[in-house]
Structure 1
Amino acid sequence: MSSRRPDRTGLVAPAVAVLLIALLLGALVGTWPPFVAVESGSMAPGVERGDLVVVTATDRAPWGDLSTHADPEAPTRLGETGDVVVYTVPGAGGRPVFHRLAFPVEAGEDWTERADPSLLAGDCAELTTCPAPYDGYVTRGDANGLYDQSAGIAPVVPEEWIAGKALFAVPNLGWIRVGIDAAAARYGGVATGVVLVGSAGLAGGVGALLLGGLRRRGRR
């Protein structure tokens, strides 16, 4: 007499579904991971701390090339004109920066002549990033009082440092990613991954049991 084995597909289905959605989104936008969690208020009010932002590759169709706040026909992104990008300063050891492109600069240019004086902490002679050492961009968080290059957040940002640009934000969903990153930093990526998969499986199992119970009641 054979015993019927329990159906365990409900335990792993949620985790598999989340993974497939992430892979499909990554293929569509051309970046991995295809989203970033906002951890500061530097881009408020367009993007608040805890929001989850979907990003795309900088040259990905149909969203076109990079545009800055100073461009005459720049699209509106997250509350202001110009693209909001994710960039990382090599060798700095910090987390990626999620700020708006203010305007482009050329190597050797005194870019403070085209800058908003109220967003500068000094003239070109007082800034370590001026004149521009290479072609790139001046950047700024919408809620910040200074350009990144004047506040010491980053030097002029060349295009190769930019990992992606923002498409849209989902309010508060980023807290999940922030929590995962914090757990990974404290307990390690493998342990965190095991807990996440187990949690997804447990949630799927509970959901499958509830759904099965509802179906059985409906058949009575």
Structure 2
Amino acid sequence: MSVSGAEKKGPSLLEKFRTSENKWVSWARELAVVAIVVGAIALGLFLISGTWPAVVTIESESMVPHMNVGDLVFVVSADRYGDLQTWKEGQETGYMKFEDYGDVIIYKPNGATSVHPIIHRAMVWAEEGQTFQVTTGNLNYSYTAPHAGYITKGDNNAVIDQTGWESGYRGLGPLEPVRDEWLVGKALFAIPLLGYLPLHIVPVAIILIAAMFLYEYYIDRKKSAGNKPGKKQKKKK
């Protein structure tokens, strides 16, 4: 009786990978599953938020008490779920976010990608050459915008970002008004403490991967012990 070509064909490479009991293949399979799950979550977040990164972690106290260190903030593009409003516009419309007027924005300082984005409140939109009077404590001085953009400030800071680092911000020079193209997005909501996980993502990832390998090693040893032939007992006369 002849056997067809389809019947002669063995399991596919994917099927072998999926069903293999080899410990190295098993570990690779576990890592692949983790990568697929993480990728699916990242894609879902991007589709919902319309920007990337879709989540950021509060790393300083500049937004206290409305945002605290360790808060995980969900970010959406500036035009999603309503137009972006500044603190000045919020005063006029009554729009509030995180217990104050206007939106909290996430932006790349001076457009740089070499440092973490800043998450501060958009205070007002400045036109090129527009001058503002800045009052802080007993000081009263003026600031002239070198180009159009958002003037920003941390809720817990005494001065606007554009004058708070006159000596330079992390090697980038003084912070400038935030251009539209420097915007990552605006803050939608925050979950307290959950941001500590991304803040320590490297050690957490190492622990999780180590735990996976130890679990697979334990299962492999258990299977090996179960497959060992037991000693034959002598029959009693």
TM-score (norm. length: structure 2): 0.66
Equivalent of 1:77 in 65, 90, 97: 97
| Partner residue in 1 for 2:55 | 35
Q: CA RMSD in A?
A: 3.3
Check whether the contact 1:14–1:204 (CA below 8 A) recurs between aligned residues: no
| Partner residue in 1 for 2:231 | none
| Partner residue in 2 for 1:177 | 198
Unaligned 5+ residue runs, structure 1?
Answer: 125-129, 185-191, 206-220
Deviation >6 Å, runs of 4+: none
Q: Partner of 2:145: helix, strand, or coil?
A: coil
**CA 1:139–1:204 in structure 2 vs 1: closer, same or farther (change >3 Å)?**
farther
Q: Partner of 2:88: helix, strand, or coil?
A: coil
| Partner residue in 2 for 1:138 | 151
1:52-63 pair list within 5 angstroms: 52-60=72-80, 63=81
Check whether the contact 1:15–1:201 (CA below 8 A) recurs between aligned residues: no
The residue identity in structure 2 corresponding to 1:151 is G
Per-residue CA deviation, residues 138-189 of structure 1 (Å, 9 max, x unaligned), is 1000011111112125222222211111000011111111112xx49xxxxx
Per-residue CA deviation, residues 101-152 of structure 1 (Å, 9 max, x unaligned), is 011111111122xx5x23795422xxxxx32111111100001111111212
| Partner residue in 2 for 1:150 | 163
| Partner residue in 2 for 1:64 | 82
| Partner residue in 1 for 2:131 | 110
How many residues align structurally? Answer: 184
Per-residue CA deviation, residues 10-31 of structure 1 (Å, 9 max, x unaligned), is 9454553343122101111111
**CA 1:143–1:204 in structure 2 vs 1: closer, same or farther (change >3 Å)?**
farther
Unaligned 5+ residue runs, structure 2?
Answer: 1-18, 170-174, 217-237
Identical-residue share of aligned pairs (%): 33
Between the aligned partners of 2:94 and 2:211, the Cα distance in structure 1 is 41
The residue identity in structure 2 corresponding to 1:139 is T
| Partner residue in 2 for 1:161 | 182
Q: Deviation of residue 197 (structure 1)? A: 6.8
Higher relative contact order (CA 8 A, sep 6+): 1
Equivalent of 1:95 in 116, 119, 124: 116
The residue identity in structure 2 corresponding to 1:167 is L
**CA 1:91–1:173 in structure 2 vs 1: closer, same or farther (change >3 Å)?**
closer
Between the aligned partners of 1:53 and 1:203, the Cα distance in structure 2 is 33
Q: Which has the larger radius of gyration?
A: 2
Q: Partner of 2:200: helix, strand, or coil?
A: helix
Q: Partner of 2:65: helix, strand, or coil?
A: coil
Check whether the contact 2:53–2:184 (CA below 8 A) recurs between aligned residues: no
